[in-house]
Amino acid sequence: MPSATGIVLEDSGKIPSRDPLVKTFPSIAAGSYVLTVACDGGGKAFFDVSSGGTQITEAGAACNGSRETSRIKVTSTGPLSISASSVDAPVIYAYLLVPAS
């Protein structure tokens, strides 16, 4: 992932099977953000973003090392969950969330 200023959250790892990996961040401020996702290993990975149990967006990335970005809006301060999954597992993934400028 590229270096970025103001990173609100980030995660990376390996998706070993088709089961989604869910990470919950306890308190993300309401506002507009840019989500950057990437994966490597062949196929495609999907990233579901939800706030307070409500899906905000689903982003996908081809697993060839390229990055994809999505603008998202978090409507209220609270927990934010990001689920990473791939039917083409195993793949390596990474994502980061920064405030939109």
Residue 84 located in a structural domain = yes
Q: Note whether 35 and 18 are within 8 A (CB).
A: no
Task: Look up the CATH number of the domain holding residue 83.
Answer: 2.60.120.260
Residue 3 located in a structural domain = no
User: 89 is in which domain, residue-wise?
Assistant: 15-99
pTM of full prediction above 0.85: yes
Residue 8 located in a structural domain = no
Q: What pLDDT sits at residue 2?
A: 60
Structural domain count of the chain? 1
Residue 76 located in a structural domain = yes
Per-residue pLDDT of the chain (101 residues; tens, 9 = 90+): 666 678 999 999 999 999 999 999 999 999 999 999 999 998 999 999 999 889 999 999 999 988 999 999 999 999 999 999 999 999 999 999 999 98
Residue 21 located in a structural domain = yes
Residue 24 located in a structural domain = yes
Residue 56 located in a structural domain = yes
Buried b (16+ CB within 10 A) or exposed e, 41-55: beeebbbbbbbeeee
DSSP letters along 25-89, please?
EEEE-SEEEEEEEEEEEEEEEEEEEEETTEEEEEEEEEEEEEEEEEEEEE-SSEEEEEEEE-TT-
Question: Distance from first CA to last CA of the chain, Å, rounded?
Answer: 18
